[in-house]
Amino acid sequence: AQSVSQHNHHVILSEAASLELGCNYSYGGTVNLFWYVQYPGQHLQLLLKYFSGDPLVKGIKGFEAEFIKSKFSFNLRKPSVQWSDTAEYFCAVIHTGRRALTFGSGTRLQVQP
């Protein structure tokens, strides 16, 4: 079965530190890739997505992600985190021909002021 792996379950950073959250997927075919975020008490919302084209994707709030097909990876990055980035982050994929999102288990990011 297709799966998405997020390597870090809980990350604690200080403000201004750089962030990289790992995401790998198992499917070998064409995929569409997403990062969603859930801030405390809020809905899941889209941070960024990759469908095709430039593998370096920029999203909201200064986040970016790079799709590396050879590594089946779509890691999320931010050069300098803020306290307001404290949230749970989910990597997800949609495989060709489907519309269902397959999610990773999520990474809880805690940014300390």
Partner 1 sequence: EAGVTQFPSHSVIEKGQTVTLRCDPISGHDNLYWYRRVMGKEIKFLLHFVKESKQDESGMPNNRFLAERTGGTYSTLKVQPAELEDSGVYFCASSPSSGSLSEQFFGPGTRLTVL
Where along the sequence are the contacts to partner 1 (CB under 8 A)?
Answer: 4, 32, 36, 42-46, 49, 51, 90, 94, 98-106
Nearer to partner 1, 19 or 31 (CB): 31
Residue 58 CB, shortest distance to partner 1, in Å, is 15
What's the rounded Cα separation, in Å, for the pair 83 and 27? Answer: 34
In whole angstroms, what is the distance from residue 62 CA to residue 78 CA?
6
**Of 32 and 73, CB closest to partner 1:** 32
Q: In the complex, what is the shortest distance from the CB of residue 15 to partner 1, in angstroms, rounded to a whole number?
A: 28
C-beta closer to partner 1: residue 63 or 90? 90
Exposure on the CB side of residue 64, measured as CA atoms within 13 A: 11
Give the nearest distance from C-beta 92 to partner 1 in angstroms.
Answer: 8
**Gap between the Cα atoms of 73 and 36, Å rounded:** 16
* Between 12 and 100, CB nearer to partner 1: 100
User: Is the Cβ–Cβ distance between 100 and 42 less than 8 Å?
Assistant: no
Distance CA 107, CA 78 (A): 14
Compute the least distance from the CB of residue 88 to partner 1, in Å: 10
